[in-house]
Structure 1
Amino acid sequence: MSSQGGEIPADFERALLSLREPRLRREVHLEEVPAPARLAPFTAALTAEITSSPGDLDPDAFLGHGRFVVLHDPAGQEAWQGTFRVVVLARARLEEEMGADALLGEVAWSWLCESLVSQGAGFSQLSGTVTRVLSETFGGLELAGGDVEVEVRASWTPHTPELGPHLAAWAELACTVAGLEPVPAVVTSLARRR
């Protein structure tokens, strides 16, 4: 968490506490990291690593990663049209065939929109990009072959300081981008031990 001095506003504290509420998939490994300090008076950031199986931190199980940033300006910012802004990133490798799909950008953006709606995360001012990265290797690296990644970057203004649903939506997006199958509606994730 980063603050530019002064007392932490009650709304920001409420927002941070609400991030503890969602029950995320066990393949999502969260860690608090230093937040960008110049974007707003109060900020917080989390990163996630998405793995292929619950609790597995083996690098071979790594499927993707992401970042979730909370910005708060008690005075509000005109571009946000509010006092909070959520900024996210989700990135993962893709199979070459999927990476070549002309509709990849639209599909990945729909994953974000669907996850926000399915988690009940009220929002406005949604904007962002979907980037496809194709890496080709040459010389001594030719044996590694090509690599295709997709990256979704987005930001939006939450309707309330209750950011738990926004964190859950981002985690759902990161899992989808990483290629994990959706959890059936009848399955409930168990809470992590703290």
Structure 2
Amino acid sequence: MTRFPIRSLALAGALALAPSLAFAHPGGAEVHGFTHGFAHPVTGLDHVLAMVAVGMLAFQMGGRAMWMLPLTFMALMIGGGVAGMMGLDLPYVELGIGLSVVVLGGAVAAGVKAPLAIAMALVGAFALFHGHAHGTEMPETVSGLAYGAGFLFGTGLLHLAGLGLGFAVGRAGETRGPLFVRGAGAALCAAGLAIVAGVI
């Protein structure tokens, strides 16, 4: 890969993460329209960290995983969102969201090289929790569909941010780059533990 795409991915990652520094998680805010949908994933710390972890894991695994893991997450997040809109119960949603940051960050930190199918299953399982949590608050209207489209777009940018971060950090040095990526994964894992514990 040439320098230009790597720099582009790093820049896209930084731009995707920037809104989360300016706004708080909207929580009980309005849940309609594309703009609200886009803002929600990029302003919620748990979602931001999980999406970045998916992107970093995809980068670390390389090959088809670089696009299969993000697409798997988004596809099953939609499924979880539909289940939430239909009122289907999914237990331990908040715990599942917190653990997604812990486990995915831990996988990056450990440098896990799992078979692609297993990685997709893991990412997809966590995606159901993320989708369900937001599907339950999304209105079943045209405005709700626009919200969902915005949410999906924001999530895709966060995956791109994780890939960009992986490229930026991983290519920092041929010998130390992978260690920096694993260090970033450890930081994500620690943040996830803090979320699960209710510290942040």
Asked if these proteins are the same fold (TM beyond 0.5), I'd say no
What TM-score do the two structures reach when normalised by structure 2?
0.28
Higher helix proportion = 2
Query: Which is strand-richer, 1 or 2?
Result: 1
